[in-house]
Amino acid sequence: MILALETSSKVSSVAVAEDNRLLAEITTESKLTHSKTLIPHIEKVLKLANKEKSDMEKIAVSIGPGSFTGLRIGLAAAKAIAYALNIPLYGVPTLKSLAYHFLTPNLKIVATMDAQKNAAYRESYEFIGGDLKVIDALEVLPVEAVRDEILNCGKNIMLVGEKAEKIYENLNRGNIYLAPFYARMPRAALVAMYALNADAPDNLMNLEPLYVRKSEAEVLWEKRHGKD
């Protein structure tokens, strides 16, 4: 059995899967922080799946990019569980897991997360021969730049993730689609699915969040005190 945690955005999601079947999932978006909801959700999803902590064989967690605080909370919880139960830990890039909403050939999936200041973390994929291939490597781009990029692409495009709706605004192209809200945001079931197809687990001690850019606090510190 695998336990999966998704905390890279305002959405808090926990899932349990076994034998490539989703046994239970709790996905919420509320004003409560991940620090208040994550552990209760883990306990509840295990109860819904009629499973015990001792049944866990693997644990997977989203590692970003996304909310810095959410990523730290999710990874800390996953590491603690992996260490306590001596089970393998899988770190799953958030944007790659989003692509698992659409296991569809001949479709370019443009996955995005909010990078603040009208910017997006963007990575694009296609499923080719049953494997997920990166088409456009991970970058932080202005929303307008992502919009221009997809307008200049002749392929069928599916927009997913936090910035998908903003990017889709005022577009009128028959080859560009906005995923419905329920297939647009991060989910723990996708994290579990990605991890179940991973080649090997990550190193418990070395796994870190995929921040991509510096936090606002770090940027302000460097402005005031210099980089050294």
* Mean per-residue pLDDT over the chain, rounded: 92
Residues 169-212 pLDDT 10s: 988 888 999 999 999 999 999 999 999 989 899 999 999 999 98
* Alpha-carbon span 23 to 189, nearest angstrom: 10
Sheet holding 21-29, edge to edge: 21-29, 11-18, 2-6, 58-64, 89-93
Helix axes 34-48, 68-85, angle to 10 degrees: 50
Residue 222 has a pLDDT of 47
What's the pLDDT tens digit per position in 160-171? 999 999 999 988
Residue range 91-114: mean pLDDT, rounded: 95
Residues forming beta bridges with residue 3, ordered by sequence position: 16, 59
Domain map (residue ranges) of the chain: 2-93+187-218, 102-183
Percentage of the chain lying above the pLDDT 70 cut: 93
**What dotted CATH number matches 2-93+187-218?**
3.30.420.40
- Reply yes or no on whether the pLDDT at 58 is more than 90: yes
Query: What single letter denotes the amino acid at residue 105?
Result: P
| Cα gap 99→119, rounded to integer Å | 20
pLDDT reading at 225 higher than 80: no
Residue 221 scores a pLDDT above 90: no
Instruction: Determine the pLDDT at residue 112.
Output: 97
102-183 belongs to CATH 3.40.640.10: no
Interval 140-147 mean pLDDT: 97
Specify the pLDDT at position 170: 85
Higher local confidence (pLDDT), 32 or 226? 32
Record the pTM.
Answer: 0.91
Examine the pLDDT at 1 and tell me if it is beyond 60.
yes
pLDDT band at 226 (very low <50, low <70, confident <90, very high): low
pLDDT at 22: 97
Sheet architecture: strand order including 108-114: 131-142, 119-128, 108-114, 157-161, 176-178
